[in-house]
Structure 1
Amino acid sequence: MTTQTLDQARPDFAADLAPAPARRVPEGTEVRGFALYVGLSDDKIEDGDPKLGAIVAQIKELVAKLSPAAETYAAVALAPEGAGGRDVDVVRLALGDPAAIARQKQTAHDSLDRAASGVTIDLSRKRVLLDNVAAPLTFREFELLQYFVLREGRTVSRDELITSLWADAAESEIPSERTIDVHVRRLRVKLAQYQDIVRTVRGIGYRFDRHADVAILQGATPSPDLF
């Protein structure tokens, strides 16, 4: 797809729109509009294709042509880097779709049930449960574990940890690679019998390996009004 407008790409687009079937709404309510959730991460936009802002602008333009009285509003959905999952599900959750929120709560409830005798890493509440008991992780220890979890299966070097987690620290507070090893060792001690979820890759760094008894509850990032 090039940067041409939607009506140029599909001049017959409006003609193709069939009347929507009438839907009953609950008594005492009225239809005031609709929400269209679009899942599209930056890494899926090919070179030469319109960027996210251009796509939003063209959709708004199309809505204005189809119904001049319509008001439009768009916001970008953000998620923690490397969080995974389907883009459209991330969008629905970040923008507060009730059905998506209800599903997440049910998933969290199911995960807690499964992890009653395992590890629950709750990224939204920034806590770790071991056999349903909160582990006494410090802020820095949780940050370290979260960094590994969001890069599941990838080996993270000590240098990357220093660069990423201490990016805003004063020069005197920046740890050495040996200090990183101390932080990881303390984290493992607090993970007790589940400490092997953080593995040492000799000569390189560390890697998070998810076991069958590990549940990860993803968090959502507030979505700024960019468009």
Structure 2
Amino acid sequence: MSIATIDRAPEAITTPTVPAAPRLRAVPSGTEARGFVVYVGIDEATAAAAGTSLGALVEKIKGVLHEAVPTIETHAAVALAPVGAGGRDVDVVRLALHDPAALARHRHTEEEAPSPKHRTGVVIDISRKRVVLDGDVAALTYKEFELLQYLVLREGRTIDRSELISSLWAVGDDEIPNERTIDVHVRRLRAKLGDYEDIVRTVRGVGYRFDRHADVSIRQASTPSPDFF
């Protein structure tokens, strides 16, 4: 008796394939990633408040990396910035360590920043009752202009507080300052003069004086001012 045999092809043996790691989007074609940087924004005071330090944090991070890959090599760098430098800590760190993306963004921001205003000086226009600072009219009140004008027309002379009060405020005015509150009026005037506030000079223990600078010009009409000065 013959036994018929059926030849069967051996079952195919499949070897599991390891999926390729996804390519980092930040890595251009023709290059390969050789490491990474993690920017950490934290100052020493914040770390101390949390009961740790920058050095201890660095050692913890390095420990985690060495546990994952024992042969890994690491290098830590501390970013330094001037005391009181503003901005988010992580942004300061990225700039200090020359992160390309942060540097590019910083340059772009600088390019968009408005150029500093051209300084043309101060024009005190007595005839038109206005003060022009670098081309812009200062928002002085009528009384603030009177105060400045009184000093300007007496250039070089120190005017005491009592003279300013008696000359610029009349009986019956809603608010008549005393020798202490006249300083408040002068301070408001100076604030509106901005970078040129020092044209109104304080003479300690006496009063105030107008000091003309090279960048200050005064315009007066040929006819006498209608003011009582």
Q: TM-score, normalised by structure 1?
A: 0.45
Answer with 1 or 2: which has the greater Rg: 2
The structure in which a higher percent of residues are helix is 1
Q: TM-score, normalised by structure 2?
A: 0.45
Question: Which fold has the larger relative contact order, with Cα–Cα distance below 8 Å and residues 6 or more apart in sequence?
Answer: 1
